[in-house]
Structure 1
Amino acid sequence: MKHLLYAAAAAVAVAASSCSGNDDAVMGRIDVASAISSPSELKVSEIGKAIRYVPLATGDSFLVANRWKLRVVGDRAVVCNTGSSAAGAGSSVLAFDLADGRFLNHIGHAGQDPEAYRRPEFVTDSKGHTLFFRGVGDSLVRYDVDGRFLGAAPTSFPAAGQLPAAVVDTMRVYALTGFMEVPYLSAVFVGPSGVVADSLPIVRRAAADDPVDLGSIGGITVMKTPGLMRNSQQGLSGLKMDARPASYRSDDAPLWYTPEGDIHAMLAFSDTIFSVGCGREPRPVMVMDFGDRAYTAADNGRRDISDDDLIVSDIIESSDKLFLGVRKGWRTDDDERNFIGYYDKVSGTTRMTRAADGFVDDLTGFMPFYPVVAAPDGSLIGILTQEDILKWIEEHPDATVPQQLQAVADSEEEPNPVLVILK
């Protein structure tokens, strides 16, 4: 990997002219420790003006599986089925209309032919026009949101079949990060011909006198902790080998698009979010203050997460806010140790509440809201399952249930999830 980065850096002098970037980021301070020490009630009206419920249509050929990911691409809700479920749902990508939940089309298929993808996970370009999947061999296959095949191209770099973390115009952006070693984060920008245009070290390896001892690969325990938003699309993983300290990682790409078209990056267990672009140095735009309870990237692999450590499990960024899920310690069901909240980019304030309370819905008076996806149009999207709705009705028998949700609750079959769209 070290030689790979050296080679990428050497290419900058040749190809940096193909890059451009915006360098106007402003630093913001997210006071996580103080906000958690004084949690307060959060209301939906603080972050939006109107809620609507959009049940995704249910049908035998477009069932949402038991493990899935939601992406918003233009005016579509695109579901990646990654788990087993009823027939036809185990390995598919489904497009639904965000306006009314109608099923519109399948996108591509899994298989071994030239148009197939290995798995249904994808990344979109920054404009949301094209979906990129890992293809057969070393290829990337491309589809539009209507399911039309747009061609395939070799990945060329950095590894056969690796999916980029972002695509800006014709430039693919790969995130390189360490796991089971001293963590680091770099972004490598690769042009359409596979030539490296730029390589940016974002978070360098922490210097330490006690290097991570990998030892043997026997006796591995895999640990998982989900995000704290209801039906979160994020989470953390850890590997524990014998009596050695665990190594942890985020299950999600460390790069994401902002609504303004920028790319933000954050290494798991670090405290800083960077703006990155081809041909310019990474710039810190937000930094999280964990007080004296930070578990840092330098700690990763050298000590286990303690019950006092604050760790970020969810990050959802909208144009004016950054939403967070924060745990005290690794996975716990203790309501007093799990928090969600937001940082307001305009006012600079940070507010947190207990995760079990969510954002109290003072608009419709129904269930608490939990954002899991920020849509390009500024909407925040939460997810409800039939099980979530039935449990809430059982615990709140006097609650007035919105008509769309009552139909889902009354369904004798297990229907597809409901999107909660907050404008």
Structure 2
Amino acid sequence: MKKTIILGGLILLLGSCAPQNNAGHPDAIDIAASLEHPTELKLSQLGKEIRYIPLETTDSSLIGNSYSIKLSKDHIFVSTNGRCLSFDKQTGKYLGSIGHKGEDPQGYSNANCFIHPRTNHLYFYRQPDNLVKYDAKGNYLGQASLPQNISPTLYFTFADSLILAHYGEGIGQPQASALLYFNEQGEVKDSLPEFANPGDPMGMDQISSINVFKQLPGNAGIGGLIYINYQNGTMTALPIDQPSLWQSNGSIRFRKTFNDTIYDIKGHEATVHTTFHTGQWHFPAEKMGQKEDTDNYIVVTTILETPKRLFFISLQGLYNKKKPFYGIYDKEKQVTYMNDANKGLADDLTHFMPFYPTACTEEGEYATLLEIGKIDEWMDKNPGVVQEGKLSFLQEINEDSNPVCAIVEP
């Protein structure tokens, strides 16, 4: 498989998680200019309609305080409490649990699923070197093997009959971040070593403490970071559930952690798709890992891309300040809108509570879960809400109910 990296005059930095400042790229998403003129972000900037789907509450379908969600054509999958729960996308009816966590032949180690865009099969990581496969109805379909040199921090997607994996940073692991093609028998077919991350990380014996920052305001879900503090005063930040590989418009997108460049992996080529321009807030590569004098620098942490829009989370002050911003890039208008992430997206479609996106689909949907406690808090502050039409679901829920899935449609 021939591999060509087309950089369009840009420099591909091979340093560990080093951001790039690509202001001159014609398709750059201009964070610097957008932050000079913040604006209220609205649901209508993501889509035309919103649906609220109360997820059925049974003894078998209870959703815990920590969760992540993914959508397929007909299903809502919620990974929580070591299980992957399946709900009907239209009605919210509980359809059952997909597989289970365990060490038996059909068990997996992590309940977060990866969905094949063509077959809708679900893949789950199983230590140390397998993926467990199920269909959307929960039928076990066997295992796929991982090459031995892939770390458990991998993120992957699917390229026809092959799996394309990004493996890299982990606690106490070599930072050999790279893209690797392999089949379900675990046979490596090719790789893109141009994206390798040379260098040795700190050893486990050099770690002084580890803590977690749940970056996303409003709800649990995407956007968290694991902070590893070392005895020499430096720090490493690792993302939690922030895709580095995703599908968009028939292409595969790739972005390394905190990097300003999104690559388009199409066929055998990797080309620059777009970049983030952070201007005066650009995080210099040589200062990554340093806590001092880095509070004003900005990194992009999370991206959710649909055909017409690109939603992203950026963080100012990666190590200390930790001030998150939401951004929406309108591809057709080539305009970027940004604001304080704590405000969420104002619901100008149904005039309900703020929206905090946590998942998206290739079809253009954005989704999140609305926790009952958050709904109650908002209702207390906004009495007199008419519980009819799209908000009639409010009559169906109570304090013991599962969260409500909100889906913004294009």
TM more than 0.5: yes
**Residue 94 (structure 2) pairs with residue 103 (structure 1):** yes
Aligned ranges for residues 113-128 of structure 1 at < 5 Å? 113-128=104-119
What's the offset of the Cα at 1:274? Answer: 0.8
**Alpha-carbon distance change, 131 to 298 in structure 1, aligned in 2, over 3 angstroms:** farther
Aligned ranges for residues 282-301 of structure 1 at < 5 Å? 282-296=270-284, 298-301=286-289
Which of these residues, 324, 328, 332, is aligned with residue 316 of structure 2?
328
- The answer as to whether partners of 1:126 and 1:169 remain within 8 angstroms in 2 is no
Give the aligned partner of residue 31 of structure 1: 30
Give the aligned partner of residue 352 of structure 1: 338
SS of structure 2 residue aligned to 1:119:
coil
Q: Which runs of 5 or more structure 1 residues have no equivalent in the other structure?
A: 1-15, 82-89
CA distance in 1, matches of 2:218, 2:29: 19
Higher relative contact order (CA 8 A, sep 6+): 2
Give the aligned partner of residue 339 of structure 1: 325
**Alpha-carbon distance change, 357 to 199 in structure 1, aligned in 2, over 3 angstroms:** same
What's the offset of the Cα at 1:91? Answer: 2.4
**Alpha-carbon distance change, 338 to 279 in structure 1, aligned in 2, over 3 angstroms:** closer
CA distance in 2, matches of 1:129, 1:289: 35
- The answer as to whether partners of 2:50 and 2:408 remain within 8 angstroms in 1 is yes
CA distance in 2, matches of 1:267, 1:163: 12
- The answer as to whether partners of 1:380 and 1:421 remain within 8 angstroms in 2 is yes
In the TM superposition, what whole-angstrom CA distance separates every residue of 1:136-187 from its partner, at most 9, and x where no partner exists? 6643221001001111233234348776511223211121223568967421
In the TM superposition, what whole-angstrom CA distance separates every residue of 1:1-45 from its partner, at most 9, and x where no partner exists? xxxxxxxxxxxxxxx28x999x9xx96211112111211122222
| TM-score, scaled to structure 2 | 0.84
CA distance in 2, matches of 1:329, 1:257: 26
Q: Which runs of 5 or more structure 2 residues have no equivalent in the other structure?
A: 8-24
SS of structure 1 residue aligned to 2:241:
coil
Which of these residues, 190, 195, 203, is aligned with residue 187 of structure 2?
195
CA distance in 2, matches of 1:305, 1:63: 44
CA distance in 1, matches of 2:394, 2:362: 25
**Alpha-carbon distance change, 396 to 330 in structure 1, aligned in 2, over 3 angstroms:** farther
CA distance in 1, matches of 2:375, 2:211: 31
Which of these residues, 250, 256, 261, is aligned with residue 272 of structure 1?
261
SS of structure 2 residue aligned to 1:28:
coil
What's the offset of the Cα at 1:129? Answer: 1.7
CA distance in 2, matches of 1:95, 1:136: 23
SS of structure 2 residue aligned to 1:392:
helix
Which of these residues, 246, 263, 269, is aligned with residue 257 of structure 1?
246
**Residue 48 (structure 2) pairs with residue 49 (structure 1):** yes
CA distance in 2, matches of 1:339, 1:102: 34
In the TM superposition, what whole-angstrom CA distance separates every residue of 1:372-420 from its partner, at most 9, and x where no partner exists? 2112332211221101111111222243342202432xx142x111111
CA distance in 2, matches of 1:34, 1:229: 26
**Alpha-carbon distance change, 72 to 305 in structure 1, aligned in 2, over 3 angstroms:** farther
Bigger mean CA deviation after superposition, 355-364 or 217-226: 217-226
CA distance in 1, matches of 2:225, 2:152: 23
SS of structure 2 residue aligned to 1:165:
strand
CA distance in 1, matches of 2:118, 2:233: 44
Q: How many percent of aligned residue pairs carry the same amino acid?
A: 27
Bigger mean CA deviation after superposition, 266-275 or 125-134: 125-134
| TM-score, scaled to structure 1 | 0.82
CA distance in 2, matches of 1:261, 1:321: 15
Aligned ranges for residues 100-179 of structure 1 at < 5 Å? 100-135=91-126, 138-159=129-150, 165-179=156-170
CA distance in 2, matches of 1:92, 1:368: 28
**Alpha-carbon distance change, 384 to 304 in structure 1, aligned in 2, over 3 angstroms:** farther
CA distance in 2, matches of 1:236, 1:403: 36
What's the offset of the Cα at 1:192? Answer: 3.3
CA distance in 1, matches of 2:294, 2:134: 44
Which amino acid in the other structure matches residue 33 of structure 1?
A
- The answer as to whether partners of 1:270 and 1:296 remain within 8 angstroms in 2 is no
Give the aligned partner of residue 220 of structure 1: 209
- The answer as to whether partners of 1:269 and 1:296 remain within 8 angstroms in 2 is no
- The answer as to whether partners of 1:185 and 1:202 remain within 8 angstroms in 2 is no
SS of structure 2 residue aligned to 1:420:
strand
